[in-house]
């Protein structure tokens, strides 16, 4: 069975001698943290802000930490509400809960899985403080529309760009340049990595200053004072992480372009297959994963059947991305927070008693349970790898469609 490169092995990462040399330089300096005069972390912040064309970037310990910086800068009161998507990693929601705010889940576009602005606006209340939009799989969320909604209601827009390095918006600007703050991940499986790490960016100097304080225990180091101005965490990035991330950042355009090239090749091969939809905007897509949305009737089967059949062919694929929407996880659905108190979902501090369950976001639930396939993707895929995936997809599509049209037919291998 064919082996496809993955981000968990050297063949699927762009790590090499340059990263080793960068680490050696930091170790030789004896300065493993920027707080003792390290230079790598400030340099990474400057280079990343320049890449995005924004004024401020704050490096931190993870993508989840980056989101926590942004939520911390919003500074919600207990029971305040932050609207986000149920189709995301739990790291999007952890910072909301950690700040004693209530996650309010808006439904998604059934074709892309990104937030639906109409659903978002319908959920805004007098307690809403922010919207967290996720650029899912590397596809651009409708952040221009969401920013208009945020400005209309006086709330913050935070972009979760963990999966969306160099994702382009329809007008050519990069994802991460529209929100009040935007957050990126350098975790092992992302486009570039330093093992773990994060970056939060903002064009707003006050918002950026609040995030920087939150990342470093509220300590205003630039003043030379040993004081703490506000509540914060210790989310500092080490010089070792920053040194590796700086080398990786140089490689980022090539990584994204290779992912796009191979995704376009597969999309062209799958286009003739009935009931199979691949993203139409792959020149703008970061292709962290390659999503395929099924028209179940035309395709002949749902995502579970396709995933099982494709996996049997050796294709790295999963059905639905998540097993259930984020609000179905026990931490939220069973309110396993703060000693079992149910806080902050309780009223008070919330305006109403918040409970979560099936049916809350039907389109997200259908994507997970019926229509969404995600193909694991990697910049090291060769044209041969892509062609093998395409050939497997064609075989599976034929068998499952024959089986759906003629239920008594043999659809096995």
Give a three-class secondary structure readout of 306-365. HHHHHHHCCCCEEECCCCCCHHHCHHHHCCCCCCCCCCCCCCCCCCCCCCCCCCCCHHHH
Report how far residue 101's alpha carbon sits from residue 216's, in angstroms, rounded to the nearest whole number: 21
Q: What is the pLDDT of residue 413?
A: 31
Report how far residue 348's alpha carbon sits from residue 255's, in angstroms, rounded to the nearest whole number: 48
What is the tens place of the pLDDT at every residue in 72-126?
999 999 999 999 999 999 999 999 999 999 999 999 999 999 999 999 999 999 9
Q: What is the pLDDT of residue 11?
A: 95
Whether 183 and 63 have beta carbons less than 8 Å apart is answered as yes
Report how far residue 346's alpha carbon sits from residue 355's, in angstroms, rounded to the nearest whole number: 9
Segments making up each domain of the chain, as ranges? 10-248
Q: What is the pLDDT of residue 402?
A: 75
Q: What is the pLDDT of residue 404?
A: 59
Where b means 16+ CB within 10 Å and e means fewer, 43-66 reads: bbbeebbebbebebbbbbbbbbbb
φ/ψ region of 363 (left if φ > 0, alpha if ψ in -120 to 50, else beta) reads alpha
Separation of CA 254 from chain center: 20
Supply the DSSP string of 233-299, one letter for each residue. Answer: -B-PPBHHHHHHHHHHHHHHHHHHHHHHHHHHHHHHHHTTSTTEE--S-TTT---SEEEEEE-HHHH
Q: By CB neighbour count within 10 A (0-12 exposed, 13-18 middle, 19+ buried), where does 183 fall? A: buried
- Confidence (pTM): 0.96
Low pLDDT (below 70) residues in the chain: 403-413
Report how far residue 84's alpha carbon sits from residue 12's, in angstroms, rounded to the nearest whole number: 31
Angle at which helix 239-270 crosses helix 383-405, to 10 degrees, equals 50
In the block, which residue shows the tokens 């970037």?
A: 57
With vertex at residue 252, the alpha carbon angle to CA 250 and CA 257, rounded to the nearest 5 degrees, is: 130
Separation of CA 225 from chain center: 36
The topology (CATH level 3) of 10-248 is 3.40.640
Task: State the DSSP H helix or E strand holding residue 18, giving kind and residue range, or none if neither.
Answer: helix 17-29
Alpha-carbon radius of gyration of the chain: 22
Report how far residue 397's alpha carbon sits from residue 307's, in angstroms, rounded to the nearest whole number: 11
Separation of CA 321 from chain center: 12
Q: What is the pLDDT of residue 411?
A: 38
Report how far residue 285's alpha carbon sits from residue 77's, in angstroms, rounded to the nearest whole number: 36
Two tokens, residue 203: 């064009």
What is the tens place of the pLDDT at every residue in 384-413?
999 999 999 999 999 999 765 555 544 333
- Range 269-276, long-range pairs (CB < 8 A, 24+ positions): 269/386, 269/387, 269/390, 269/393, 269/394, 270/390, 270/393, 273/299, 273/393, 273/394, 273/397, 274/298, 274/299, 274/397, 274/401, 275/299, 275/300, 275/401, 276/393, 276/397
Three-state DSSP at 382 gives coil
Q: What is the pLDDT of residue 1?
A: 85
Q: Which residues are paired to 134 by β-bridges?
A: 160
Report how far residue 270's alpha carbon sits from residue 251's, in angstroms, rounded to the nearest whole number: 29
């Amino acid at each position: 069975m064919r082996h496809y490169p993955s981000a968990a092995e050297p063949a699927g990462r762009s790590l090499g001698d340059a990263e080793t040399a960068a680490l050696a330089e930091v170790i030789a300096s004896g300065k493993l943290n920027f707080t003792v005069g390290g230079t790598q972390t400030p340099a990474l912040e400057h280079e990343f802000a320049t890449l995005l064309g924004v004024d401020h970037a704050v490096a931190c310990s993870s993508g989840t930490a980056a989101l926590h910086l942004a939520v911390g800068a919003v500074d919600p009161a207990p029971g305040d509400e932050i609207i986000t998507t149920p189709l995301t990693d739990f790291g999007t929601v952890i910072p909301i809960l950690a700040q004693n705010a209530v996650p309010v889940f808006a439904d998604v576009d059934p074709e892309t899985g990104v937030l639906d602005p109409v659903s978002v606006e319908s959920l805004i209340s007098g307690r809403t403080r922010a919207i967290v939009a996720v650029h899912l799989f590397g596809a651009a969320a409708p952040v221009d529309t969401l920013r208009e909604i945020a400005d209309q209601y006086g709330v913050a827009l935070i972009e979760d760009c963990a999966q969306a390095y160099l994702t382009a918006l329809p007008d050519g600007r990069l994802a991460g340049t529209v929100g009040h703050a935007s957050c990126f991940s350098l975790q092992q499986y992302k486009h570039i990595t330093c093992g773990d790490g994060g970056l939060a960016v903002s064009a707003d100097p006050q918002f950026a200053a609040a995030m920087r304080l939150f990342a470093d225990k509220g300590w205003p180091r630039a003043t030379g004072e040993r004081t703490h101005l506000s509540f914060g965490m210790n989310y500092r990035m080490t010089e070792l992480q920053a040194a590796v991330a700086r080398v990786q950042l140089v490689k980022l355009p090539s990584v994204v372009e290779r992912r796009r090239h191979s995704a376009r090749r597969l999309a062209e091969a799958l286009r003739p297959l009935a009931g199979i939809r691949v993203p139409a905007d792959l020149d703008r897509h970061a292709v962290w994963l390659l999503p395929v949305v099924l028209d179940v009737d035309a395709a002949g089967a749902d995502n579970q059947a396709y995933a099982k059949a494709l996996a049997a062919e050796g294709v790295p694929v999963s059905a639905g991305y998540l097993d259930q929407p984020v609000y179905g996880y026990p931490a939220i659905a069973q309110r396993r927070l703060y000693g079992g108190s149910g806080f902050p979902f309780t009223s008070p501090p919330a305006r109403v008693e918040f409970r979560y369950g099936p049916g809350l976001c039907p389109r997200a639930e259908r994507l997970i349970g019926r229509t969404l396939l995600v193909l694991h993707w990697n910049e090291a895929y060769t044209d041969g790898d892509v062609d093998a995936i395409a050939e497997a997809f064609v075989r599976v599509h034929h068998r499952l469609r024959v089986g759906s049209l003629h239920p008594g037919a043999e659809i096995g291998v």
